[in-house]
């Protein structure tokens, strides 16, 4: 019964058991100590792997807003900027325990103020495990080692791929709703978003305008990206996608200067210097900016959440 699938599992469990309240060790973390008192934490080690289950958090289970069915997860931890925001927008009070520290950074996160109400994690498997979540939300590009470790420890991990279209935003919101047992709230969010987007759709027959996405190091998302979808929704053609390029990539400054787009979408520089951002102050770019409108893309451009409506509105305003 005490057999392990892999030696590495044993080591991982040993380390985590020594750190966790189960082992009787007093943990500096206040949340951990509270849980020690009233939570019936059972650790069962099965041959196939390791499963940790939480019998009762003392706070009562979160009820699904659709009523009935499977009980919704009660201790959700998110470790990805985008799942952070999707979860914060939909979770029931008390259901979401922790979001990643990036969610509290106003430069990356459209919900930085809300994130201040949650415990912030640094996306490490160890700290996530110690929060004893019953659902971990991550991105498909989250550290695979951390996700594999959490899965081996028996946690349920759900990953979200980066959203690349407005339809993808709807799908992500609805999926998050299902995972959190908040389908009703998710449907309402999607309806609200669709109404707002319909209002922003440019009238037919307008001449097509070109916008160039231009970020540090000349980074410029091509077709099949969320930024491309935002431009399209506001009636712009993406310069980087004009040559048929899809996905991530760079746009040579020369090509941008030659195309003379009517709008340049770029970002505000971060504090501290970087050679990557120096290109945004290049004299040739300054020359183009004399005739083009410059839009600064904020956090609403980063993630496939209902916040993208704000990004579309930003572009519609310069249409």
Partner 1 sequence: MSDRRLLGALGALLLVLFVASLAIGPAGEGFGASMRALFTGEGGPIVAVMREIRLPRALLGLMIGATLGLSGAALQGFLRNPLAEPGLIGISGSAALGAVIALQTGLAAAFLLALPLAALAGAVIAVAVLMALAGPRGTALTLILAGIAVSAFAGALTALVLNLSPNPYAAADIVFWMMGSLADRSMVQVWLALPFMLTGSVMLLSLGRGLDALTLGEDAAEAMGVNLARLRLVLVLGTAAVVGAGTAVAGAIGFVGLVVPHVLRPYTGGRPSRLMPASALGGAAMVLAADVAVRLIAPDRDLKLGVLTALVGAPFFLRLIWQTRRAGR
User: How is residue 219 annotated by DSSP?
Assistant: B
For the bound state, the minimum distance from the C-beta of residue 281 to partner 1, rounded and expressed in Å, comes to 9
For the bound state, the minimum distance from the C-beta of residue 245 to partner 1, rounded and expressed in Å, comes to 7
User: How is residue 20 annotated by DSSP?
Assistant: S
218 contacts partner 1 (rule: CB under 8 A):
yes
Q: Which is nearer to partner 1, 251 or 312 (CB)?
A: 251
Q: Which is nearer to partner 1, 57 or 108 (CB)?
A: 108
Q: Which is nearer to partner 1, 91 or 104 (CB)?
A: 104
User: How is residue 270 annotated by DSSP?
Assistant: P
Among 34, 217, 248, 294, binds partner 1 (CB under 8 A): 217
Among 12, 186, 279, 311, binds partner 1 (CB under 8 A): 279
205 contacts partner 1 (rule: CB under 8 A):
no
Q: Which is nearer to partner 1, 20 or 225 (CB)?
A: 225
Site for partner 1 in 238-277 (CB under 8 A): 245, 249-255, 257-258, 260, 269-277
List, as one string, the DSSP characters of 36-60. HHH--EEEEEETTEEEEEES--SS-
Exposure on the CB side of residue 297, measured as CA atoms within 13 A? 27
Q: Which is nearer to partner 1, 234 or 279 (CB)?
A: 279
Q: Which residues contact 125 (CB under 8 A, 6 or more apart)?
A: 145, 146, 147, 149, 150
202 contacts partner 1 (rule: CB under 8 A):
no
Q: Which residues contact 232 (CB under 8 A, 6 or more apart)?
A: 238
Dihedral, CA of residue 127, residue 138, residue 11 and residue 121, to nearest 10: -10
284 contacts partner 1 (rule: CB under 8 A):
yes
How far apart are alpha carbons 104 and 204 in whole angstroms? 39
Q: Of the ranges 18-26, 136-144, 188-196, 210-218, which one interacts with partner 1 (CB under 8 A)?
A: 210-218
Structure tokens at 58: 């003392």
CB 208 within 8 A of CB 234: no
| Interface residue list for partner 1 (CB under 8 A) | 216-218, 245, 249-255, 257-258, 260, 269-277, 279, 282-284, 287-288
């Amino acid at each position: 019964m005490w057999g392990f699938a892999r030696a590495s599992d044993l080591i991982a469990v040993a380390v985590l058991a020594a750190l966790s309240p189960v082992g009787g060790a007093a943990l500096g973390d206040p949340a951990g100590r509270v849980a020690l008192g009233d939570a019936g934490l059972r650790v069962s080690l099965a041959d196939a792997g390791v499963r940790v289950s939480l019998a009762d958090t003392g706070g009562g289970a979160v009820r699904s807003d659709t009523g009935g069915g499977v009980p919704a997860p009660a201790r959700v931890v998110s470790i990805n900027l985008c799942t952070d925001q999707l979860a914060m927008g939909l979770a029931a009070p008390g259901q979401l325990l922790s979001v990643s520290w990036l969610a509290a950074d106003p430069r990356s996160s459209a919900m930085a103020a809300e994130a201040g109400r949650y415990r912030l994690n640094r996306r490490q498997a160890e700290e996530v495990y110690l929060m004893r979540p019953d659902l971990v939300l991550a991105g498909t590009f989250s550290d695979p080692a951390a996700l594999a470790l959490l899965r081996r420890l028996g946690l349920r991990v759900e990953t979200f791929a980066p959203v690349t279209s407005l339809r993808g935003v709807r799908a992500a919101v609805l999926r998050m709703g299902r995972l959190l047992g908040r389908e009703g709230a998710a449907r309402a969010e999607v309806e609200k978003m669709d109404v707002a987007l319909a209002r922003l759709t440019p009238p037919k027959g307008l001449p097509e305008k070109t916008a160039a996405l231009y970020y540090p190091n000349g980074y410029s998302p091509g077709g099949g990206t969320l930024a491309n979808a935002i431009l399209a929704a506001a009636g712009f053609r993406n310069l980087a996608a004009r040559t048929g390029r899809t996905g991530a990539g760079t746009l040579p400054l020369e090509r941008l200067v030659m195309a003379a787009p009517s709008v340049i979408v770029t970002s505000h520089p971060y504090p501290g210097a970087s050679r990557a951002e120096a290109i945004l102050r290049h004299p040739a770019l300054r020359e183009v900016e004399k005739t083009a409108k410059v839009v600064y893309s904020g956090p609403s451009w980063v993630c496939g959440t209902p916040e993208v409506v704000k990004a579309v509105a930003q572009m519609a305003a310069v249409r």
